[in-house]
Each structure stands twice: as C-alpha cells, then as structure tokens.
Amino acid sequence: MLTALGGSLIIAFVAGGLTLGLRSLGGLLTPPRTTAPERVPFLGGLGPETHAWSRFHVRYYAMALLFLAFDMEMVFMYPWAVVFLREGMKAMVEMLMFIVILTLGILYAWRERALRWS
C-alpha cells in the first residue's frame, strides 16, 4: 500500500523530471545567444542614442472615440432586432430616427475634420 511519503516522493520525482525535461527542451529550442551589436535595432548601421521608450501623441484618438460611439450603436440594434417583428412599423421608424441622428453626428464630425489622419 502506498504510504503518504511514497506518494509525495513520486510527485516530487515526476515534478522534478518534468521541470528538468522542459528546461532541457527550452535550451534546445532557444536561439543562440546574441551579442550586444546584434541586439540593437537596425538604423542603417548606426546604434541607438536614446532608449526607445517614449511617450508620443496618439493622434488617432478622435477617430478611436468615434469608432467606439458608433460601435455602441450596433449594441442597441440587437434588442431592437428581437422586438422588430412584434412592434412593426413603430420600431422601424424609431430605429430610422436613431440612425438619422447618428448619421448627422458622422457628417458633423466629417465637417469638423475629425476623420482626417493628423
């Protein structure tokens, strides 16, 4: 009968074996070690002067906000689609009004050049 100590030993051996096996496999699959000049980004032959971490202006934020706004519009269409057949023309007109208001929003954003890549 397997005692608690024996079970623990088996688990320890299996865990140790797995660890060693995976580490060896990792060693086999790892690309060869690179030197410092090999690791720097390609800039046409010169090395970088500053660290690459830098904060920059996300200029597409206006476009991203617009995308989110109109993405939400689709979410409202799911419950509408469920009741559309039951409610009939009334639901159709309400959704048309909703779409028209949103379309006016797009046209306004377009006129204000919010869709231009800057």
Residues at the interface with another protein (CB under 8 A):
32, 35-38, 40, 42-57, 59
d(CA 14, CA 8): 10
Q: Residue 45 or residue 79: which is nearer to another protein going by CB?
A: 45
Task: At 116, give phi and psi (nearest 5°).
Answer: -80, 135
Give yes or no for a contact between 73 and 102, defined as CB atoms under 8 angstroms apart.
yes
Q: Residue 57 or residue 86: which is nearer to another protein going by CB?
A: 57
Q: Residue 3 or residue 50: which is nearer to another protein going by CB?
A: 50
Q: Residue 38 or residue 71: which is nearer to another protein going by CB?
A: 38
Name the CA radius of gyration of the chain, rounded: 30
Distance of alpha carbon 89 from its chain centroid, rounded?
39
State the minimum distance, in angstroms, from the CB of residue 111 to another protein.
Answer: 21
End-to-end CA distance of the chain: 75
State the minimum distance, in angstroms, from the CB of residue 22 to another protein.
Answer: 24
Give yes or no for a contact between 118 and 58, defined as CB atoms under 8 angstroms apart.
no
